[in-house]
């Protein structure tokens, strides 16, 4: 391959997903990854029906299901007393949306997409650090740290939270939530892992903290995540999110949650950032994708899914505008992508922030939230219909968001709402 049709900068889940979506349509695609090897850091990831629908379209769903776990229920509990607040029946959810809810190890999903790219003929390069982007008369180019240039008709910037390409469109910076995530996996053959029902995805929501667990790798691993607000971060200190803060944040939680903390990896933690919604993603022949365009907080588990959706939408619009001679109407493809994706992802970013606020309430607000969630009918999908249905290809296909429910009681009226307003 000399100059490819498309350069994808970034070999994470979003970049590989986009590369596959375009290569399967017959384009010559090159991926530039800055690391010395392709790989993913982290543990579990949740894939809702709006993602498994795309994996099914790619012919990858059976492979993903074999690598992961198909849970039967998603349950929310109070982290202080351990009581159940609400649940989703994930088998009924699959019947409603036509595709399953799947949990999988991030590295397994990444490796699966990498293999798919290899089969599709994607040109994969490592140790390629991109420092600048520019449009050209024939398309777009990137400059690498060693001074070399790579050119293509279109460049897709999937270069993450600290995207260089985003600087073409905005001078904004990542926004710290002051929350920190600790993760850990443990075998399920004995001990803690053997005690947990792996047919469930469970989140314990607590005052300025929450705890999540579910199974991975066919039930061979238990994945656990502990998230909390860092007092050091709020105070402006540099050394924030340390293990002592982890233990202190969960002092008020129930026995089950506290007993999970020793199983966290304590030599690493993830500080949680997002960015303000960006409504323009395309600059000439350069387009943002994934966290470069829309890094969210993780509360509705849509970060990687949005990135996979971005690539699928590009591939679908490419297919509509691919002539018999192999030429592509790229301005139309990028315009269609720009027309539909930013608004959807704005909603996800905004809803993620609001959902995190709801999870982390204390005092009277916590009690009101718990009462509200306990009243929810198990077959009420109004809060997820806008997410889990088919991915929109046109703005007119984007469903309305849910109507917020007041988080209030007669004795103590509050102005907080459960989520974000319809927009």
Quick one: which of 310, 105, 334, 379 has its CA closest to 222?
A: 105
- Euclidean distance between CA atoms 102 and 412, whole angstroms: 39
**First vs last Cα of the chain: how many Å apart?**
45
- Euclidean distance between CA atoms 326 and 95, whole angstroms: 39
Residue 76's contacts (CB-CB under 8 Å, 6 or more residues apart) are 84, 85, 86, 87, 202, 203, 204, 205, 373
Enumerate the H helices of 3-89 as residue ranges: 13-23, 49-57, 61-67
Beta-sheet strands, E only, within 234-345: 270-274, 282-283, 286-288
**Facing residues of 143 across strands?**
132, 149
Beta-sheet strands, E only, within 243-354: 270-274, 282-283, 286-288
- Euclidean distance between CA atoms 408 and 96, whole angstroms: 30
Contact 105, 222 (CB under 8 A): no
**Facing residues of 184 across strands?**
224
The secondary element (H helix, E strand) that includes residue 84 is strand 84-89
Task: Kindly report the length of the chain.
Answer: 423
179 is catalytic: no
Neighbours of 134 (CB within 10 A): 16
- Euclidean distance between CA atoms 98 and 64, whole angstroms: 16
Q: Of the residues 20, 133, 179, 214, which is catalytic?
A: 214
Here the tokens at position 35 are 């690391």
CA angle, 124 as apex, 120 and 128 as ends, to 5°? 160
Contact 346, 277 (CB under 8 A): yes
CA angle, 94 as apex, 88 and 96 as ends, to 5°? 90
Could you give the residue numbers annotated as active site?
A: 214
């Amino acid at each position: 391959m000399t100059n490819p049709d498309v350069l994808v900068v970034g070999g994470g889940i979003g970049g590989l997903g986009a590369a596959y979506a375009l290569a399967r349509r017959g384009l010559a695609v090159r991926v530039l990854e800055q690391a010395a090897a392709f790989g993913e850091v982290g543990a579990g990831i949740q894939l809702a029906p709006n993602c498994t629908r795309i994996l099914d379209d790619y012919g990858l769903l059976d492979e993903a299901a074999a690598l992961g776990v198909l849970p039967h229920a998603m349950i929310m509990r109070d982290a202080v007393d351990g009581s159940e607040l609400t649940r989703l029946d994930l088998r009924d959810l699959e019947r409603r949306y036509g595709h399953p809810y799947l949990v999988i190890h991030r590295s397994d999903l990444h490796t699966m997409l990498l293999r798919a790219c290899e089969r599709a003929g994607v040109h994969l390069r490592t140790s390629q650090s991109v420092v600048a982007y520019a449009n050209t008369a024939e398309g777009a180019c990137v400059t690498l740290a060693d001074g070399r240039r790579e050119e293509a008709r279109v460049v897709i910037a999937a270069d993450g939270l600290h995207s260089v390409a985003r600087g073409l469109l905005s001078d904004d910076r990542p926004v710290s939530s002051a929350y920190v995530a600790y993760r850990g996996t443990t075998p399920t053959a004995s001990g803690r892992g053997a005690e947990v029902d792996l047919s469930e995805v469970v989140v314990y929501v607590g005052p300025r903290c929450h705890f999540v667990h579910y199974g991975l790798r066919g039930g061979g691993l238990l994945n656990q995540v502990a998230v909390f607000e860092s007092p050091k971060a709020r105070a402006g200190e540099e050394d924030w999110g340390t293990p002592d803060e982890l233990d202190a944040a969960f002092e008020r939680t129930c026995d089950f949650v506290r007993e999970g903390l020793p199983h966290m990896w304590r030599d690493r933690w993830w500080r949680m950032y997002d960015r303000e919604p960006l409504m323009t993603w395309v600059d000439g022949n350069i387009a943002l994708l994934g966290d470069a365009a829309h890094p969210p907080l993780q509360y509705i588990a849509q970060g990687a899914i949005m990135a996979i959706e971005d690539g699928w939408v590009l591939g679908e619009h490419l297919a509509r505008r691919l002539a018999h001679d192999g030429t592509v109407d790229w301005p139309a493809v990028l315009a269609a992508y720009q027309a539909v994706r930013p608004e959807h992802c704005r909603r996800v970013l905004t809803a993620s922030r609001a959902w995190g606020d709801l999870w982390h309430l204390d005092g009277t607000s916590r009690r009101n939230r718990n009462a509200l969630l306990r009243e929810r009918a198990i077959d009420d999908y109004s809060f997820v219909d806008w997410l889990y249905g088919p991915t929109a290809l046109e703005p007119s296909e984007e469903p309305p968001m849910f109507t917020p429910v007041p988080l209030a009681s007669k004795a103590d009226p509050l102005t907080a709402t459960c989520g974000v307003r319809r927009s």
